[in-house]
Structure 1
Amino acid sequence: MRILISVYDKAGLVDFLNSISNYIDEIYGTEGTVKYLKENNIKANNSSLLTGFDDLLGGRVKTLHPAIFSGILSKRDTESNEQLKKYNYKDFDMVICNLYPFVEASKTNDLQKMIENIDIGGLSLIRAAAKNYKNVAVLSNPDDYEMVKDALKENGEIDIKTREILGLRAFSRSANYDIQIYNRLYHKLNGSQPEELFIYGYGRSDLRYGENPDQEAYMFKTDEKYGIPNGIQLNGKELSYNNILDANAALETVQDFDDITSVIIKHRSPSGISSADTLKDAFINSYNADSESAYGFVVALNRKLDMDTAMEMKNKFIEVLIAPEFDSDALKLLKKKKNLRIIKCSMEKDPEKAVASISGGILMQSKLNYRYENLELKSSTEASDAKLKDLEFAWKVVAHTKSNAMVLAKNRTTVGIGAGQTSRIESLKIAIERGGENVKGSVLASDAFIPFDDSVIECYKNGIDAIIQPGGSIRDDDVIKRCNEYKIPLYFTGKRVFLH
């Protein structure tokens, strides 16, 4: 077997070549790779013996030559063999190649470094070998070494299925490489969202089912760092499409809280959220905020799960539990619930824009941000410090609640949540109904402006102590007047947090 090697990432290369040495007849490589191999006692020939040059243009041209690409693209038929013989070219059975680290170079924000790390020859080698996968095995990442080693050990050759997988992986990686170059170079040169949208998803996970059991569903990663796709499932059955959506909603909500917080989600909207001095209290409060809805729920915590909290969870019907860390005894206890999906997940927020699919197109927007520049008192009555904390808490919650959204909160715990209604007053009435006797003394957050004073009247009738809302209605004066009449503190954020 004749191998051509040109790699930037040399991890695992020497061990791999040593493990398959019985199958290797010749190795050719670019200058840097050959030097590395010889330092590690592996015999290799410089590709310059085939091309007639070491490199050109300061290394920009190394392998771009017919002697190389003919040997990769040869069909191994009579015509191809005669042409290679005519020019004294050799064919290759394997290409091992990975690419310059363009993504890493782009993080320096140095345009010249970015340009010099755009791989040309390596990308061409990978694509050529992938095109001729029936005759040439292409290893485009160190992750491929184990597969090839196993194939040779089992079959004494690289079987066609392994070659197909390697070829498809190579095309996938080369496509992503071009996507990264376009996206990052466009942003560097123009400072804006690219005119064309390219999204690379990888690491497919087959989900249990889609929104309904007869629908197929899959999850893909778009990076190696953020969110549920990069979480580690520690227990439970396969996740479904709905589980992922609810888990994502829970995670994105709890990430907005610095205090110890428990978030319970049903159908992508919160049913109960609480911040407290202990995780146990936060969970109990979030569950009791709407225990009727909290059946078959998703819960996200922003602190390590401890045994006290786990004890409170053990008899609850939880679909998915998300936390950044787990005490070993708490995890052991909850693993007794075989169907409970437990996911260890980073609390670091994903800064990338949000994307949604529609028929015939894709929508993109920046992530919702609840933070406002200035909280403006609009009424003649001020809220106490404790009520201001509750208003801030309720505002964070309403930013993650489906609109029209009205959230009642007290003592950093939701009291009642009205969501997804076509009428804002109807959402408020639902929140009040859900809250029952706990409504008195709570505060109200609205995700968009309150258009009429009917909501203020309803607050007064039910003992709601303060209101936070964006403002901006043509009837703001009516709302302010009614708040002054009832001595209800009213604050404007000047920012809408509408979530469809």
Structure 2
Amino acid sequence: MKKRALLSVSDKSGILEFAQELEKMDYQILSTGGTKRFLEENGVAITAVDEITKFPEILGGRVKTLHPLVHGGLLAKHHDPQHQSEMAENGISPIEIVCVNLYPFRETIAKPEVTVDDAIENIDIGGPTMLRSAAKNHAHVTVIVDSEDYAIVLEELHGAGAATSPETRRRLAAKVFRHTAAYDSYISNYLTDLTGEEYPEALTLTYELQQSLRYGENPHQKAAFYRSPLGSDFSIAAAEQLHGKEMSYNNIQDANAALQIIKEFKMPAAVAVKHMNPCGVGTGDTIADAFNKAYEADSTSIFGGIVALNREVDVETAEKLSGIFLEIVIAPKFSADALAVLTQKKNIRLLTIPFDGTKQDKWNTVTVEGGLLVQQPDAFGFDDADIRVATERQPTEQELEALKLGWSVVKHVKSNAIVVCDSAMTLGVGAGQMNRVGAAKIALEQAGVRAEGAVLASDAFFPMSDTVEAAAKAGIKAIIQPGGSKKDQDSIDKANEYGIAMVFTGIRHFKH
């Protein structure tokens, strides 16, 4: 009896050559629909599945292979006497190879104009069923879902045993179950979004391997980077690397932090990041001016850092960037002259990201031991309508602009966080301190004499008035904070005592 292979694919790449090789090895090839027509047009002898089942394709192709004569051939144990007896009684022959890929559901729902009906019609039923049947019975069946695996299967079939190895069949079966699990997750998440359920009883998230990394946060840790196929198009995962060494685990973390901050700005802006905290943020009339300010904000910490810019990098900016050691530069584009300058530095990584991307991740996730935390992104910014001036003195227009900048930056600094800035750049950043006044002292010390006339932003309320006291002594003229402490009045009184304008936002920006 001839061995049999069932081929039914939407991705035709490589399938003709694969089928031709199977035909040379005397396989009977079963197929359906478009795959059958394609192979027959190219001279491959095909047995239609409905010739085997004696049951036609029905319901517009929704039912093609859902039949015992197909699934019995896929699920039967070849060395089980009872299975063999039942197969003989029911006229079922084994199927040794299954090659199937699925309707393009993910690609369909990614289209802006997709309708629910289009999405539903692209939910594959017969394909996953065949794949799962074959993968379950991988002790006897070789199952292929990826055209990249045709070569290894043919290599083993041409070998001494004329069969695939148990190890290969198990590896391919595992790949199938990963594939069908991911496919189902796209469907479940799409339908869940339609229903508006925020926190379903089961959360299925799918990521695809983007790259294996040399190591993790430290050299003794193994690591890899996975991308969400339907995730944000304004992200590090969507970046194109134009130059430089392979990105590391820490590079990706820092680059992501820089990108989240640069998203806050519409005017030309530059952000410098070290260890996921901003060390300098600058804005200006030009991108070169913005970078100058980010550099001047902290010319020491920027060394070995990551810089993100929200305008095309021109040659003037490139020359400034090339004058210091940087790990990464991120921008929407680099001019040809800018690239000529920057690519002279062998190791610097240059990334472009589509800053006009509109698709954003719906949730932020953080893994904890044994679980996963899920929350909405912290998308609240500065809203003139929501702020409340708590002090006797109102902030000036220039102070208000500085407060906006500080509030946009402090939400991205590890808590407890304090940012000192003027209307164009940060002057001091106090990050990750266990008490708020400690963070303030770091930021004020870094700002030094530049704190005179500047403003201060805090990611959370002041539990006591000591931060206002420290700010006043350094020359701070305006403060922005959420408010909400039982001792708010103490801070208000202290600000009034020193003539400081203080505004409350009502929004906290903790970042852990």
- Do these two structures clear the TM 0.5 threshold for a shared fold by scoring above it? yes
The 5 A counterparts of 1:371-386 are: 371-373=381-383, 374-386=386-398
Find the aligned partners of 1:200 and 1:394 in 2 and give their Cα distance: 36
Do the aligned partners of 1:260 and 1:275 also contact (CA within 8 Å) in 2?
yes
Match of 1:263 among 257, 271, 277: 271
Q: Secondary structure at the match of 1:192?
A: coil
Moved more, 433-442 or 368-377: 368-377
Change (3 A) 1:352 1:216: same
Whole-angstrom CA distance in 2 between matches of 1:225 and 1:111: 20
1:359-398 correspondence runs (5 A): 359-373=369-383, 374-398=386-410
Q: Tell me which residue corresponds to 1:121.
A: 126
Confirm or deny that 1:336 pairs with 2:344. Answer: yes
Q: For the residues of structure 1 that align with 2:148 and 2:210, how far apart are their CA atoms?
A: 20
> Structure 1 residues 187, 91: CA separation in 2 closer, same or farther (over 3 Å shift)?
same
Shift of 1:353: 0.8
- Specify the SS of the correspondent of 1:176: helix
Structure 1-normalised TM-score?
0.88
- The answer for the alignment partner of 1:188 in structure 2 is 194
Is the deviation greater in 1-10 or in 74-83? 74-83
Could you tell me whether the CA contact under 8 Å between 2:363 and 2:375 is conserved in 1?
yes
2:103: which partner in 1?
100
Q: When the two structures are superposed, what TM-score results if normalisation uses the length of structure 2?
A: 0.86
Aligned with 2:29 (options 27, 31, 35): 27
The separation in 1 between residues aligned to 2:63 and 2:240, in whole angstroms, is 43
* C-alpha distance in 2 between matches for 1:15 and 1:488: 77
Unaligned 5+ segments in structure 1 are none
Residue matched to 2:222: 216
> Does structure 2 conserve the Cα–Cα contact (< 8 Å) formed by 1:31 and 1:47?
no
Which residue among 271, 274, 278 is the counterpart of 2:286?
A: 278
Question: Per-residue deviation at 1:283?
Answer: 1.8
Structure 2 counterpart of 1:402, from 401, 414, 428: 414
The alpha-carbon deviation at position 95 of structure 1 amounts to 2.3
Contact 1:404 1:498 (C-alpha < 8 Å) held by counterparts: yes
Shift of the alpha carbon at 1:409? 1.0
- Which runs of structure 2 are paired with 1:285-296 in the superposition (5 Å)? 285-296=293-304
Q: Distance in 1 between matches of 2:294 and 2:21?
A: 56
Give matches, 1:452-471, under 5 Å.
Answer: 452-471=464-483
Q: Secondary structure at the match of 1:257?
A: coil
- SS of residue matched to 1:364: strand
Deviations 1:200-250 (Å, cap 9, x if unpaired)? 222152222222221222221122553223323333333332222212111
- The one of 222, 230, 249 equivalent to 1:241 is 249
Give the conservation status (yes or no) of the 8 Å contact 2:214–2:248.
yes
What are the superposed Cα offsets for residues 464-492 of structure 1, whole Å, 9 maximum, x if unpaired?
Answer: 22211111222223333333343322222
Residue in 1 that maps onto 2:51: 49
User: In structure 2, do the counterparts of structure 1 residues 332 and 126 end up closer, same or farther at CA, with 3 Å as the change threshold?
Assistant: farther
| 1: CA distance, partners of 2:251 / 2:487 | 41
RMSD over equivalenced CA pairs, Å: 3.1
Determine the C-alpha separation between the residues in 2 that align with 1:162 and 1:318: 44
Q: CA deviation at 1:188?
A: 2.8
SS in 1 for 2:433: coil
- Equivalent pair of 1:27/1:44 in contact (CA under 8 Å): yes
TM-superposition CA deviations, 1:293-334 (whole Å, max 9, x none): 222212222222222222112231212222232223323433
2:71 corresponds in structure 1 to 69
% identical aligned pairs: 40
Deviation at 1:343, TM superposition (A): 2.7
Q: 1-10 or 101-110, which moves further after superposition?
A: 101-110
| Map of 2:354 onto structure 1 | 346
Distance 1:217 1:453 in 2: 45
Query: Are residues 163 and 278 of structure 1, via their aligned partners in 2, closer, same or farther at CA, if it must alter by over 3 Å?
Result: farther
Which consecutive residues of structure 2, in runs of 5 or more, have no partner in the other structure? none
Tell me: CA distance 1:146–1:200, structure 2 relative to 1, closer, same or farther (3 Å): closer
What are the residue-to-residue correspondences of 1:422-461 with 2, within 5 Å?
A: 422-461=434-473
| 1:170 corresponds to | 176
Distance in 2 (CA, whole Å) between partners of 1:466 and 1:46 is: 78
What's the offset of the Cα at 1:366? 0.9
- Work out whether residues 156 and 164 of structure 2, in 8 Å CA contact, stay in contact via their aligned partners in 1: no
Report the Cα offset of residue 446 of structure 1. 1.0
- 1:95 partner letter: V
8 Å Cα contact 1:147-1:162 kept in structure 2: no
Deviates more, 1:470-479 or 1:387-396: 470-479
Structure 1 residue matching 2:373: 3-state secondary structure: strand
